[in-house]
Structure 1
Amino acid sequence: MAEEQRLHERFSMQLPVRVAVIGSSGTGSFSELITANISSGGAFIITDTPVPIASRLAMEFLISFVDLKKLRFILSFDSLRRCAGRPAWVKATGVVIRHQETGMAVIFDDDYQLSPMKISD
């Protein structure tokens, strides 16, 4: 059996994530979930009710400053400076590519731009 090759290093991190389906009428309401793992290219989100494969999602992750640097998200120097070492909500969009018993795999859009939304107190 060939070993799976990934473009982005994946980290086992249980991060809070808010997920909403992006449909023809806009973005739906957000559900509060948890990630099982994440990389700068995608995430596996734990859920009992995954959305259909190929669904577009809007996601907001609560990520610590240390994990932001570890994940190598695309962030401007100014965005990192504003985080000042504290956790921040960052946003991304992506597509559901796979279901498993415990949740769904999402690949972030190729042109994703993750940026701090607000600083946690």
Structure 2
Amino acid sequence: MLKIFYDHLVIREDVITALDAFSLDPLEKEELVRLVDSHLHHHILNVILNHLPKDKHPEFMNLFIKTPHDRKLLDYLKTHISIDIESQITTHAVKVKKEILEDIRKSRRSK
């Protein structure tokens, strides 16, 4: 799993624990975890880009593509976004994870 600068703001263990309740092949579980990560990533990038001024999008994306793990990207965002972007990322990640966990629970009930 690729490290991303906002990983410390997004706790994924509860989703992984929910997946452990299923009898999944390790490769299936790995694929599901990747899908969850991808889903969260797209939502978080959307939050970031919605708050970042449009003229900063190309610069941010270039920096992100070069060094997605670099925590300095968070400093960059804090410099260019007037709201508490860490809080926004965390809040949105919790919301998306809640939706994912509900889908997992529904899947268990339908079996």
Identify the structure with the greater helix proportion.
2
Shorter-chain TM-score bucket reads: under 0.3
TM-score (norm: length of structure 2): 0.22
Identify the structure with the greater strand proportion.
1
TM-score (norm: length of structure 1): 0.21
